[in-house]
């Protein structure tokens, strides 16, 4: 980011709001143009603030900012997409908060990446459109694994590449065939297929996935294990995820 002050118009997702001084707010925003940035919104906590409605968490807004190295300043904010349907479902809101927390805590500041931005938009749009929240959670965790350099083998047995798989190895990171099953749990065909599908179908094509709730709930502890053991990622919102599984 340049050190000179300049006015820019950016579109971004409000990840988190932090109260600042008496009437101000620090907005933590993920933008397509500049990645994650901090913006001071002066007077936005006043009931008379014209910017307040566009400065809510979990919404997409267009912001005119005085761009600076460090903390930028908000000039004007306009709502682009309220994503209001997410907050109509407690399950969707919990998964949405999980996604926002990951971006707030584990995405580097001032490092714009179009792929990261698009995943964030696609995930929130999927929740807003009413797709199964826990399915969105699974797909998002595939992104988290990839983002942290973890690749799960879903093309065949991790030991011999046989496509006749019967289990998923937590330790080896992929499928196992009958010959290499050892003491691992045998999974149903539906679970094995769904495990592959969530790894190869992107978030913006979530409509192609038709996975039963019981299968989704069987996949969640598998993916949670990979996240915890392979990445070390720990999010406070995970506690709430566990309550809706």
Vertex 34: Cα angle to 119 and 100 (nearest 5): 40
> pLDDT, tens digit, for every residue of 41-52?
999 999 899 999
DSSP per-residue letters across 127-164:
HHTT--HHHHHHHHHHHHHHHTT---EEEEETTT--S-
What average pLDDT does the structure give for the chain?
Answer: 94
pTM, entire model: 0.93
The share of the chain scoring above pLDDT 70, in percent, equals 98
> pLDDT, tens digit, for every residue of 14-46?
999 999 988 999 999 999 899 999 999 999 999
Which three-class secondary structure state does DSSP give residue 38? strand
Q: Are strands 165-169 and 174-177 parallel, antiparallel or unpaired?
A: antiparallel
Biggest CA-to-CA distance, the chain: 69
């Amino acid at each position: 980011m340049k050190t000179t002050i300049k006015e820019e118009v950016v579109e971004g997702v409000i990840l988190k709001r932090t109260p600042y001084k008496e009437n101000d707010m620090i907005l933590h925003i993920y933008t397509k143009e500049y990645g994650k940035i901090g913006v001071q919104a002066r007077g936005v906590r006043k009931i008379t603030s014209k910017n307040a409605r566009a400065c809510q968490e979990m919404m997409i807004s267009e912001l005119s900012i005085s761009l600076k190295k460090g903390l930028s300043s908000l000039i004007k904010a306009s709502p682009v997409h309220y994503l209001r349907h997410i907050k109509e479902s407690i399950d969707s809101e919990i998964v949405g908060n999980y996604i926002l927390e990951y971006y707030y805590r584990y995405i580097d500041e001032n490092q714009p990446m179009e792929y990261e931005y698009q995943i964030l938009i696609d995930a929130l749009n999927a929740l807003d459109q009413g797709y199964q929240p826990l399915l969105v959670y699974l797909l998002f965790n595939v992104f988290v694994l990839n983002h942290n350099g973890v690749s799960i083998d879903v093309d065949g047995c991790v030991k011999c590449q046989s496509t006749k798989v019967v289990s998923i190895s937590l330790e080896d990171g992929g499928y196992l065939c009958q010959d290499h099953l050892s003491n691992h749990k045998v999974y149903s065909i539906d679970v094995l297929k769904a495990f592959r599908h969530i790894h190869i179908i992107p978030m913006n094509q979530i409509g192609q996935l038709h996975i039963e709730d019981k299968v989704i709930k069987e996949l969640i502890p598998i993916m949670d294990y990979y996240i915890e053991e392979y990445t070390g990622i720990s999010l406070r919102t995970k506690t709430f995820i566990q309550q809706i599984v």
